[in-house]
Amino acid sequence: MILSLNTPLDMHLHLREGTMMQNVAPISAACFAGAVIMPNLISPVDTLQKLFNYREDIEKVCKNEIFEPYMTLFFKPYPREFLEEVREHIIGIKLYPAGITTQSESGVTDFNMIEPTLAIMEELQIPLLVHGESDGFVLDREREFLVVYRRIVENFPVLHVIMEHITTADSVSFVDEHDTVSATVTLHHLMITLDDVIGGLMQPHLFCKPIAKKPRDLQALRDAVFMGHPRIMFGSDSAPHPQHKKECVGCAAGVFTAPVAMPLLAQIFEEADRLDCLQGFVSDVACKRYAITPPAKTIELENKPYRVPTLFNNVRPFFAGETLRWSIRSPARI
Ligand code: NCD
Ligand code: ZN
């Protein structure tokens, strides 16, 4: 059986820089028509020059593929002139609470400071992408952050807000209740709970932010995605770290899912008997919500076994060494 997907998009992707980028970017560029590129570099993407340089680097590494990098800017209080200038070069601005995840130290510390920038973004129709976690107890962080989302939605009623990598039933309800709010959901959060991370022997390669939650949260995410939710789209949050930074004291947060994203999505949608919803989840919802037209590109999957390499250079992927039911037929297998 062949499954054809039109312009698949990864609406939340970490490509890093330098040799890591050379290692991981071609993988996503081969199986997606475009991706939303996260700005949390060692020196965050917060000027036009950094944005242009980063985009150019990505294009260079991905030059053999049809692949559109949808660039984001790291949220800071920005003046109007700058936002007017940067607007046509970005898909949105990504807000991180300070220190909440990998390379987010220069994120927001005081949420009272964000409003003037949000007002301009709303007016200029620049979407706001949010890493929505408080600094509370790890399992409560996403729920606690809903008060911030609520305030943003109330104060900026036409701002397009994207709740990135949602992991809880409460977040799904919040999206349900607000028409101006969209959300991304990762592959791994559709497959694992906290039990998979720490319920048996500890699994550093499944450790990520936000941490995987309870079975009822997993079920709520799956229900929303498999019903073809009109505002929930795929964002892998594929976040590669070298093996020595995962298998150590002080394991870095992030799961590297890029190489297995499409085959495993096909597998879980097939298992749920909802293959009919896959095109919407991996492309159509995003195109509509962000009003984008990705470059023409079709990906074909076939139900032939794919053995996942244990390493992509120094990065261990999700499902390393396992055999998946679906493989990428075209473009050529990675
Ligand atoms: C991401 C990373 O490594 O950049 N890590 C993660 O656990 N998801 C950052 C992020 O999206 O939180
Ligand atoms: Zn991320």
Q: What number does the ligand 1 atom closest to the CA of 208 have? A: 7
CB 194 within 8 A of CB 211: yes
Q: Provide, rounded to the nearest whole percent, the portion of the chain with pLDDT above 70.
A: 99
- Is the pLDDT confidence value at 290 over 50? yes
* pLDDT tens-place string over residues 50-86: 999 999 999 999 999 999 999 999 999 999 999 999 9
Distance 252 CA to ligand 2 centre (A): 12
> What whole-number distance in Å separates Cα of residue 310 and Cα of residue 82?
44
User: How much is the pLDDT for 230?
Assistant: 98
User: Among 154, 300, 311, 306, which residue's Cα sits nearest to residue 240?
Assistant: 311
What integer is the mean pLDDT of 308-312? 98
- Residue type, position 136, single letter: G
* pLDDT tens-place string over residues 146-205: 999 999 999 999 999 999 999 999 999 999 999 999 999 999 999 999 999 999 999 999
User: How much is the pLDDT for 333?
Assistant: 45
Token reading at 173: 């309800």
What integer is the mean pLDDT of 272-280? 98
User: How much is the pLDDT for 332?
Assistant: 53
The mean pLDDT value of the chain amounts to 97
| Residue with CA at minimum distance from ligand 1 atom 4 | 102
- Ligand 1 proximity of 320 Cβ (cutoff 6 Å): no
Is 237 one of the catalytic residues?
yes
* pLDDT tens-place string over residues 206-236: 999 999 999 999 999 999 999 999 999 999 9
Distance 75 CA to ligand 2 centre (A): 14
- Ligand 1 proximity of 186 Cβ (cutoff 6 Å): no
* pLDDT tens-place string over residues 117-161: 999 999 999 999 999 999 999 999 999 999 999 999 999 999 999
Ligand number, closest to the Cα atom of 38: 2
- Domain boundaries defined on the chain: 2-330
Sheet holding 2-6, edge to edge: 2-6, 298-302, 327-330
- Ligand 1 proximity of 253 Cβ (cutoff 6 Å): yes
- Ligand 1 proximity of 101 Cβ (cutoff 6 Å): yes
- Ligand 1 proximity of 209 Cβ (cutoff 6 Å): yes
CB neighbour list of residue 160: distance below 8 Å, 6 or more residues apart:
92, 125, 127, 128, 180, 182, 289, 290
CB neighbour list of residue 199: distance below 8 Å, 6 or more residues apart:
193
Ligand number, closest to the Cα atom of 188: 1
Where does the pLDDT of residue 331 fall: very low under 50, low under 70, confident under 90, or very high at 90 and above?
confident
Where does the pLDDT of residue 44 fall: very low under 50, low under 70, confident under 90, or very high at 90 and above?
very high
- Is the pLDDT confidence value at 97 over 60? yes
Neighbours of ion ligand 2 (CB under 5 A): 237
Strand partners, 73: 93
What integer is the mean pLDDT of 32-41? 98
User: How much is the pLDDT for 149?
Assistant: 98
Decide: residue 199, CB within 10 A, 0-12 exposed, 13-18 middle, 19+ buried: exposed
Q: CATH number of 2-330: 3.40.50.720, 3.30.420.10, 3.20.20.140, 3.40.1390.30?
A: 3.20.20.140
- Residue type, position 140, single letter: D
Q: What number does the ligand 1 atom closest to the CA of 104 have? A: 9
> What whole-number distance in Å separates Cα of residue 156 and Cα of residue 72?
20
Q: What number does the ligand 1 atom closest to the CA of 252 have? A: 3
User: How much is the pLDDT for 334?
Assistant: 47
